[in-house]
Amino acid sequence: MDIRARVCAIISRQLSVPEADLTSDQHFRALPNVDSMRILQIILETENAFGIEIDDDATFRLQTVGEFQDLVERLCRQGAAT
């Protein structure tokens, strides 16, 4: 499973939303069952799943599922490069 699919799986599980309903241009705040606690859980599970650390500032700037997927991919690449 690629990074983008794994991120969608985490979001899907945390929000109880079918993966098929998630698109990269969807805004997090528009997703069902989303609140600040759920977003925090998504971030923590993603950090643990990929062995990365997501900066708090980046978290507040993210608006869409695709932006979050891009950030995770970038952080994974950076981690692999070190």
CATH number for the domain spanning 29: value is 1.10.1200.10
> For residue 63, what is the DSSP state?
-
Q: How many domains does the chain have?
A: 1
Mind listing the pLDDT tens digit for each residue in 33-79? 999 899 999 999 999 999 999 998 887 888 999 999 999 999 999 87
pLDDT of residue 81: 63
pLDDT of residue 15: 96
Mind listing the pLDDT tens digit for each residue in 12-29? 999 999 999 999 999 988
pLDDT of residue 56: 86
- Close Cβ partners of 45 (under 8 Å, ≥ 6 residues apart): 10, 13, 14
Domain range for 39 is: 3-81
